[in-house]
Amino acid sequence: MEGVMQTETKIRAESGIESGPRGPGCSLRNFACEQNLLSRPDGSASFLQGDTSVLAGVYGPAEVKVSKEIFNKATLEVTLRPKIGLPGVAEKSRERLIRNTCEAVVLGALHPRTSITVVLQVVSDAGSLLACCLNAACMALVDAGVPMRALFCGVTCALDSDGTLLLDPTAKQEKEARAVLTFALDSVERKLLMSTTKGLYSDAELQQCLAAAQAASQHVFRFYRESLQRRYSKS
Amino acid sequence: MKETPLSNCERRFLLRAIEEKKRLDGRQTYDYRNIKISFGTDYGCCIVELGKTRVLGQVSCELVSPKLNRATEGILFFNLELSQMAAPAFEPGRQSDLLVKLNRLLERCLRNSKCIDTESLCVVAGEKVWQIRVDLHLLNHDGNIIDAASIAAIVALCHFRRPDVSVQGDEVTLYTLEERDPVPLSIHHMPICVSFAFFQQGTYLLVDPNEREERVMDGLLVIAMNKHREICTIQSSGGIMLLKDQVLRCSKIAGVKVAEITELIQKALANDQKVRKEGGKFGFAESIANQRITAFRMEKAPIDTSDVEEKAEEIISEAEPPSEVVSKPVLWTPGTAQIGEGIENSWGDLEDSEKEDEDEGGSDEAIILDSIKMDTGEVSNIGSQDAPIVLSDSEEEEMIILEPDKNPKKIRTQTISATQVKAPSKKPVKKRKKKRAAN
Amino acid sequence: MAEAAAVVAESLAGYRARAARAVLEQVVLPGEELLLPGQEDGEGPGSAGERPLRLNAGARSRGRVVCGPGLRRCGDRLLVTKCGRLRHKEPGSGNGGGVYWVDSQQKRYVPVKGDHVIGIVTAKSGDIFKVDVGGSEPASLSYLSFEGATKRNRPNVQVGDLIYGQFVVANKDMEPEMVCIDSCGRANGMGVIGQDGLLFKVTLGLIRRLLAPDCEILQEVGKLYPLEIVFGMNGRIWVKAKTIQQTLILANVLEACEHMTADQRKQIFSRLAES
pLDDT at A210: 87
Do B382 and B416 form a contact (C-beta atoms < 8 A)?
no
- Taking only the tens place, the pLDDT of each residue in B101-124 is 999 999 999 999 999 999 999 999
Asked if the structure places residue A192 within a domain, the reply is yes
Asked if the structure places residue A17 within a domain, the reply is no
Cβ contact (<8 Å) for C252 and B26?
Answer: yes
Touching A: B residues 54-83, CB under 8 Å: 54, 56, 58, 60-64, 81, 83
Domain containing A161 equals 31-233
Residue boundaries of the structural domains of chain B: 6-273
Asked if the structure places residue A21 within a domain, the reply is no
Give the integer Cα–Cα distance in Å for C105 and A145. Answer: 8
pLDDT at B395: 44
Asked if the structure places residue A16 within a domain, the reply is no
> B281 CB near a chain A CB, below 8 Å?
yes
C143 half-sphere exposure, CB direction, 13 A CA radius = 17
- DSSP-derived letter for residue B116 is B
> A161 CB near a chain B CB, below 8 Å?
no
Total domains, chain A: 1
Of residues A119 and C51, the one with the higher pLDDT is A119
Percent of chain C with pLDDT over 70: 83
Of residues C164 and B177, the one with the higher pLDDT is C164
pLDDT at C235: 95
- Taking only the tens place, the pLDDT of each residue in B218-260 is 999 999 999 999 999 999 998 888 999 999 999 999 999 999 9
Residue boundaries of the structural domains of chain C: 15-37+64-104, 115-192, 198-274
**Chain A adjacent subunits, 3+ CB pairs under 8 A:** B, C
What is C15-37+64-104's CATH number?
2.40.50.100
- The CATH code of the domain that includes A202 is 3.30.230.70
Asked if the structure places residue A137 within a domain, the reply is yes
pLDDT of A53 higher than 90: yes
DSSP per residue over A64-111, as a string? --GGG--TTSPEEEEEEE-SSSS--HHHHHHHHHHHHHHHHHB-GGGS
**Chain B adjacent subunits, 3+ CB pairs under 8 A:** A, C
**pTM > 0.80:** yes
Q: What is the ipTM of this complex?
A: 0.87
pLDDT of C178 higher than 50: yes
> C104 CB near a chain A CB, below 8 Å?
yes
Cβ contact (<8 Å) for B6 and C4?
Answer: no
- Taking only the tens place, the pLDDT of each residue in C192-222 is 998 899 999 999 999 999 998 888 888 888 8
Q: CA-nearest residue of chain A to C79?
A: A149
Asked if the structure places residue A18 within a domain, the reply is no
Relative to beta strand B128-140, strand B75-82 is parallel
Q: CA-nearest residue of chain A to B77?
A: A85
Classify residue A21 as exposed, middle or buried by CB count within 10 Å of its CB (0-12, 13-18, 19+): exposed
Asked if the structure places residue A7 within a domain, the reply is no
Of residues C257 and A140, the one with the higher pLDDT is A140
pLDDT at C4: 40
- Taking only the tens place, the pLDDT of each residue in B365-414 is 433 334 434 444 443 443 444 444 444 444 444 444 444 444 444 444 44
- Taking only the tens place, the pLDDT of each residue in C15-46 is 567 888 888 889 999 999 988 876 655 444 44
pLDDT of A3 higher than 90: no
Chain C CB contacts of A148 below 8 Å? 30-31, 81-82
| Burial letters C232-253, b for 16+ CB under 10 A, else e | bbbbbbbbbbeebebbbbbbeb
* Residue-level pLDDT, tens digit, chain B, 439 residues: 888 999 999 999 999 999 999 999 889 999 999 999 999 988 999 999 999 999 999 999 999 999 999 899 999 999 999 999 999 999 887 788 999 999 999 999 999 999 999 999 999 988 999 999 999 999 999 999 999 999 999 999 999 999 999 998 888 899 988 899 999 999 999 999 999 999 998 899 999 999 999 999 999 999 999 999 999 999 999 888 899 999 999 999 999 999 999 999 999 999 999 999 888 778 777 777 666 777 888 765 555 555 555 655 565 666 656 556 556 777 777 777 777 666 555 555 544 444 444 444 444 443 333 443 444 444 344 344 444 444 444 444 444 444 444 444 444 444 444 444 444 444 444 444 444 444 4
Asked if the structure places residue A123 within a domain, the reply is yes
Among the listed residues A103, C83, A203, C230, the one whose alpha carbon sits nearest the alpha carbon of residue B320: A203
pLDDT at A203: 81
Give the list of residues 6+ apart from residue A145 with CB closer than 8 angstroms, or none: A42, A43, C82, C83, C84, C104, C105, C106, C107, C108
Of residues B79 and A10, the one with the higher pLDDT is B79
Architecture of domain B6-273: 2-Layer Sandwich (3.30)
Among the listed residues C87, C43, C33, C39, the one whose alpha carbon sits nearest the alpha carbon of residue C61: C39
Number of continuous H segments (helices) and E segments (strands) in chain B: 13, 18
Range A13-24 average pLDDT: 39
| CATH superfamily to which C115-192 belongs | Nucleic acid-binding proteins (2.40.50.140)
Range C101-130 average pLDDT: 93
Chain C CB contacts of A195 below 8 Å? 1
What is C198-274's CATH number?
3.30.1370.10
Among the listed residues B52, C230, B303, the one whose alpha carbon sits nearest the alpha carbon of residue A20: B303
Give the list of residues 6+ apart from residue C210 with CB closer than 8 angstroms, or none: C217, C218, C231, C237, C254, C257
Do C118 and C162 form a contact (C-beta atoms < 8 A)?
yes
DSSP per residue over C116-130, as a string? EEEEEEEEEETTEEE
> B21 CB near a chain C CB, below 8 Å?
no
Q: Residue A215: phi, psi to the nearest 5?
A: -65, -40
- Taking only the tens place, the pLDDT of each residue in A116-164 is 999 999 999 999 999 999 999 999 999 999 999 999 999 999 999 888 8
Q: CA-nearest residue of chain B to A202?
A: B370
| Burial letters A176-205, b for 16+ CB under 10 A, else e | ebbbbbbbbbbbbbbbbbbbbbbbbbbbbb
